[in-house]
Amino acid sequence: MKVISVRDLELYMRCPRAYKFKVINDAISQEKPLSLCKSITTKRVIFWMHENKFKLTKDDIGQQCSLIWDEELSDPRVNQQELQEVVIAEKLATKKTKGKPSISKREKLLESITVWCLNYHKIEKDTNVLHFNIPYECQIGDARFTGAIDLVRQNDDNTIEIVKLRTSSQAPALAFIERDISLTLASYASWKGNFFINDQGSDLQISIAQIPRAFYYHLPFLETYKRNAKNGKKGEVKGNPLIESSRSQEKLLDFEFEILQVVAGIEMNYFPMRIIQPCGCCLCAFRHQCESFVDSPTKVML
């Protein structure tokens, strides 16, 4: 039986050629983007908060954010020059105001991560989270799919919610969330698959056996207004981070057929190059292994 991880599945649907480099050729990406470092750091801190049942101080959270951020940035694949880029220029002192030093991208991103985690701690401390960063698996046809969902929550009426944490700067459109493969697969696993809980060193298999409500949790909405604005007052968070995009039974059944077409492509060694990003292949982690990649912003690949 073929086993496919949700990350590899997402990669194939973005570009089968990139899937071939990573999974078939076992290639290692040459770069680790700051957006990935930011996402991993934020999730690790949030999981740590849940592990400690939110019995933490503001200083504890700030120190943990800084510690994990430094760990992620120590990866040699991280572009250190990009980290040092100045995003807020130095403000010189005047007779009436004090000067302010310049702020680098490294410092600015850490500030954002810390704000998100502090406000998450304040807003979500009473939420009933059953599991966090929990692995799952499900079978569709002759293929088995594996992955992990960030949060599994339970409401007072015993209904289940699954939540995917998201740190991208731009809020996702609902149409994009509805096509999110990882949220769909996690919903399917909650309905027809299994989750695994680590219990004293061994994995305990559990079955939820219900279609959950599904959400994106857009962490940048936890940033606060620094001054009164049209959309909110100073000190208020910028929006509701929970964006619902639940899957119906009909959609999950359609998903079975859709995903089996993807599996068929993998089994037939169908690995064409597919360009779906506006910037072409420039952000692909495997572009330097690709013979078709042309590193030129003026040349469009067809």
pLDDT, one tens digit per residue, over 267-278 is 999 999 887 766
Going from N- to C-terminal start, the domains of the chain cover: 31-126, 128-271
pLDDT of 297: 43
SS3 content of the chain, % helix, strand, coil (to 5): 40, 20, 40
Kindly report, residue by residue over 155-166, the tens digit of the pLDDT.
888 899 999 999
Q: 139: closest CA among 238, 214, 207?
A: 207
What is the pLDDT, as a whole number, of residue 87? 87
When pLDDT is averaged across residues 294-298 and rounded to a whole number, the result is 44
Q: Are 112 and 224 in contact (CB under 8 A)?
A: no
Q: What is the pLDDT of residue 234?
A: 83
Query: For the residues 130-152, what does the mean pLDDT come to?
Result: 95
At 300, the pLDDT band (50, 70, 90 cuts) reads very low
Q: What is the pTM of this model?
A: 0.89
Sign of the dihedral through C-alpha 10, 15, 21, 23: positive
Give residue 230's pLDDT.
76
Task: Output 202 or 33, whichever has higher pLDDT.
Answer: 33
| Most distant pair of Cα atoms in the chain: their distance | 74
Q: Is-contact 40 72, C-beta < 8 A? A: yes
Average pLDDT of the chain?
89
DSSP tag of 229: B
